[in-house]
Chain A
Amino acid sequence: MFLAWHEMRRAKVRFGLLTGAVGLLVFLILFQQALLGGLITQFIGALRNQSADVLVYSDQARKNLEGSIVLPEQVAAVGEVDGVQRATALGEATFTVSAGGDDVDAVIFGYELGGPGEPTTLTEGRMPAGPYEAVASAKDRSDGFGIGDTVTVMPGGEPITVVGIAQDLNYSVAPVLFVDFSTFEDAKRIRNPDALAIVPSAVAVEVAEGETPDVVAARINAVLDGVEALTRQQAVDGSPGVSSVRSSFVVILGLFYLVVPLVTGLFFLIVTFQKASALTLLRAIGAPARVLVVSLLVQVVAVMALGSVLAAVLYAGALQGVQNLGVRVEAMPVVVTSLVVLALALLTSLVAVRRVLRIDPLSATTGAGVQA
């Protein structure tokens, strides 16, 4: 311990550079993990946190709710399938709305009140009881989507009053309003007076007791043409962008997890080579190999701990810059990531440990150090 601290105090630039590099790498891992989670929640929070067990899209939509339309007769046909308790219309579209004095984008979900498709994460207020009432996404409450605020679909729609707030309800990284289906229909007609008909985007299905969403979705796909039934989780995972964002980030994070231990292992290996003659001398005057190994490992742990602290500070600061993703600073990801990179760094430092263990005290008499 004594050796480890003294060496670190006397080689501040060397250890400072390593700590800085490790801190930046761990920060990038944390930031990208937060970004991945935040992006996915912001893309599909409204789908994940609505009550329908199964969502039935047009088979032309390629699992894209925004690109799906179903006809009223298809809604009725889904309701007739075995295992379906209730099947109701669900509408989704992006609108320009006036909220908090500004024109902003908002996604409006229209559902049949009391039926499947309603938000499940209400934290404040109540569900809509009739037309022109809405549950809004919690992240946007201070932007004109708080309880009692009114939101107007442009140009010149009726004001929609926010009566409830729900957590993690965003969609396509935009504020969300859950309203009754007739309010959704009115909004569509305001946006496009030429509309020939307002049709639902999907069918929201509640499965009967004793049935599972998987089985009911498969049954709907088997008996009905022109539709694609998905469980809630399948709808979330299949949403456009989600799988590609996930696989891209997995590769990027994998590379970062590879680089951190490589950098640390490289550093301690070189340092061990540089200290070869000093370590040999220490062994020759009676220092047990265990002391030298512990000293090395203490330095690894210290560098990784300091780097993780630096990363946590950078992480907390950087998340302020992506508030629009609703990402929160949480201790657990920092702790878990730090422990994982520490374990990986200790693993790669074993190469340096091996070198230390191979030091022959007799070499002190010949001037040789660590053997390759």
Chain B
Amino acid sequence: MSAFRLPLRELRRRPSRFAVATIVLSFLTTLLLFLGGLLDGLFLGSTGAIRAQQADAIVFSSTARDSFLRSRIEADVRSQVEGVDGVEAAGGLGFVLLGAVVPGSDGLADVAVAGYELPPAGVPAPPAVGSGIADSRLRDAGADVGDTLLVGPAQSPIEITGFVDDTAYLLQSTIWVSLETWRAVQNANRPDAAVGVDVVQALVVQGDGVSPDAIDAATGGATSSLSVDDAVYALPGVRQQESTFNQIIYSTLVVVLSVVGLFFSLLTIERLALYGVLKAIGASDRRLFAGIVVQATAVTVIAYVIGAALAFGAIAGLPPDVPLQLTSGRFASTFIGLLVASVLGSAISLRRVTRVDPASAIGTAS
């Protein structure tokens, strides 16, 4: 007889016995997916423009505290960076956050106009002056290829010539433009943040073996250089969001472990007499415990499917400003986390199963 037949048959014939645990785990699954989706939405929506950079280092001015909006790299510092051994290419990068009027749409769309020289992943070479390639989330605001957006209070025109995925910046749709267009938009709309003709906010540096430390040493400390990963986590709030959400997610997984442990230890107590009989007719501890793990796994899988469906429903009902994004990776990691917590939780019953005395079956089983 297969070790799985008995526990699965119990699940089929007495589903109501497992219903409440399944419901509780379904809600916990929804909660975990929701928390993970929020974390991913905030992270991906904030960092896309930096993650897309094909760079070995991103160079800021030393007093900017790794903030693009506060950084200024002038021509002399750029020359020093370009002269560092191993540097193959260095390109300027700059952002300005503004509202944009999208033709045919009410209200304004939040955009980040990004000037660049070295194309990020998926982005073509810098377009002609006055035109730009937009992040695909701008489509949700009604923009299309050929539209001319009026950006900022000065209504600077930028014609959209194409779209690119996953390059948002601080939850705003990036429009990738040439440095010349970026400077024109920045100076027209933010006179207090205006930049000179050779000034950029940061440099994207490419070159095998180029280290951020070597760049900072070459500029005499005028720069603060980071790897792309470090630049991503230097964006405001990204690191704090990740650690806070992860703490909540891990605590919720401990709750899952407790709930499953509680449920199966109660179920085990209820079945002690039955286990005595099974042991008396030759069932091993391993086999009985495997049955509990099988049931915990089955309950978790069913709860996961229900919870995931509930999460999809919850997303559909959310206001559009909630930056929730469910990725396949998040579905997989949540499932694995739930499964591990459930199996560990069901292991709490192991001690009780091993302590069942087969002799107790005589005269007690009913």
Contacts and interface: CB of A to CB of B under 8 A. Distances in A.
Indicate whether A and B interact.
yes
A148 to B, nearest CB: 24
Interface in A159-198: 172-173, 188, 191-192, 194-198
Interface stretch (B20-28, B118-126, B282-290): B20-28
A301 interface: no
B63 A31 contact: no
A256 B256 CA distance: 12
Among the interface residues B199, B252, B265, B314, which one has the most CB atoms of the partner chain A within 10 A?
B252
A93 B192 CA distance: 10
Nearest to A185: B192
B179 to A, nearest CB: 15
A35 B251 CA distance: 15
Given A96-B70, A252-B31, A20 B65 contact: no
B300 to A, nearest CB: 15
A247 B323 CA distance: 11
Interface of A: 13-14, 17-18, 20-21, 24-25, 27-28, 31-32, 35, 58, 60-62, 66-67, 69, 93-96, 103-105, 154-155, 172-173, 188, 191-192, 194-199, 226, 243-244, 247-248, 251-252, 255-256, 258-259, 262-263, 265-267, 269-271, 273-274, 318, 322, 324
Contact of B27 (A93, A198, A262): A262
A191 B71 CA distance: 9
Interface residues of B, number: 63
Nearest to B32: A255
A274 B266 contact: yes
Given A17-B261, A21-B255, A255-B34, A247 B319 contact: yes
The 4 A-B pairs of least Cβ separation, nearest first, read A21-B258, A196-B191, A154-B63, A266-B20
Nearest to B196: A194
Contacts of B244: 35, 322
A75 B68 CA distance: 29
Given A60-B152, A199-B192, A243 B321 contact: yes
A24 B193 CA distance: 48
Interface string B43-82: 0000000000000000000011101011010000000000
A327 to B, nearest CB: 12
Interface of B: 20-21, 23-24, 27-28, 30-31, 34-35, 38, 63-65, 67, 69-70, 72, 97-99, 108, 110, 152-153, 187, 189-196, 199, 236-237, 240, 244, 247-248, 251-252, 254-255, 258-259, 261-263, 265-267, 269-270, 314, 318-319, 321-324, 348
Contacts of A270: 20, 263, 266-267, 270
Given A194-B194, A199-B191, A255-B30, A25 B255 contact: yes
